[in-house]
């Protein structure tokens, strides 16, 4: 049996106008949004082209600097640092010796040495911390010349650690003696 339809039209009536209206409006909205997205994409590409070029340039520079750093690291690894350190210490010691102020030392010694003592030789040796070790050969008139000289070295602020080495009496009269003392110049040249 056939179901009963109340539609008496020869063809069934369906109203598609609202559906077509929704499809057209939706299509127009989709087209507008798609065009807006395309325009936004091109605007973004145009406005960021200089920034992207800068980024590419900085990345190229970073790669170049990385290659340079690798080359320098390889060069540093190939160096003999022990020999280079020894050469540097030697050169620094030579510079410290050249910069040593003899006039300043002699001025300080003048304040320390008494009238009855005469210095015959001074032999400096330079330490890495800037201290200068002095080996002094002296001649004195009295038997206590060396003791007085040691006392004066202990009182003077630029000299420290005075130590007697040898004392001998001479046949003609007088005494010869040696003193080792550390001297700190006013301008210290540290040898590294």
Question: Tens digits of per-residue pLDDT, 61-118?
Answer: 999 999 999 999 888 888 787 888 888 877 777 777 677 777 888 888 888 888 888 8
Q: Give the CA distances from residue 62 to residues 66, 136, 183, 186, in Å, rounded to whole numbers and listed in that order.
A: 6, 61, 52, 48
* Residues 133, 124: Cα–Cα separation, whole Å: 6
Question: Tens digits of per-residue pLDDT, 38-55?
Answer: 999 999 988 888 888 899
- Tell me the two tokens of residue 38: 């395309």
Helix (H) or strand (E) holding 139: strand 132-140
CB 124 within 8 A of CB 134: yes
Q: What domains appear along the chain, each with residue ranges and CATH number?
A: 101-183 (3.30.70.2830)
């Amino acid at each position: 049996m056939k179901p009963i339809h109340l539609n008496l039209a020869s063809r069934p009536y369906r109203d598609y106008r609202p559906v077509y209206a929704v499809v057209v409006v939706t299509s127009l909205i989709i087209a507008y949004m798609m065009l807006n997205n395309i325009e936004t994409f091109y605007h973004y590409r145009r406005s960021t082209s200089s920034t992207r070029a800068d980024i590419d340039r900085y990345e190229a520079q970073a790669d170049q600097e990385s290659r340079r750093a690798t080359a320098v690291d390889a060069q540093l690894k190939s160096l003999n640092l022990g020999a280079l350190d020894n050469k540097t210490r030697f050169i620094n010691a030579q510079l410290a010796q050249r910069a040593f102020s003899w006039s300043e030392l002699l001025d300080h010694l003048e304040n320390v040495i008494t009238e009855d003592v005469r210095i015959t030789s001074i032999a400096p040796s330079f330490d890495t911390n800037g201290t200068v070790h002095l080996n002094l050969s002296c001649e004195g008139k009295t038997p206590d010349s060396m003791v007085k000289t040691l006392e004066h070295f202990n009182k003077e602020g630029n000299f420290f650690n005075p130590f007697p080495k040898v004392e001998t009496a001479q046949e003609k009269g007088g005494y010869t003696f040696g003193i080792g003392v550390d001297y700190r110049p006013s301008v210290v040249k540290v040898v590294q």
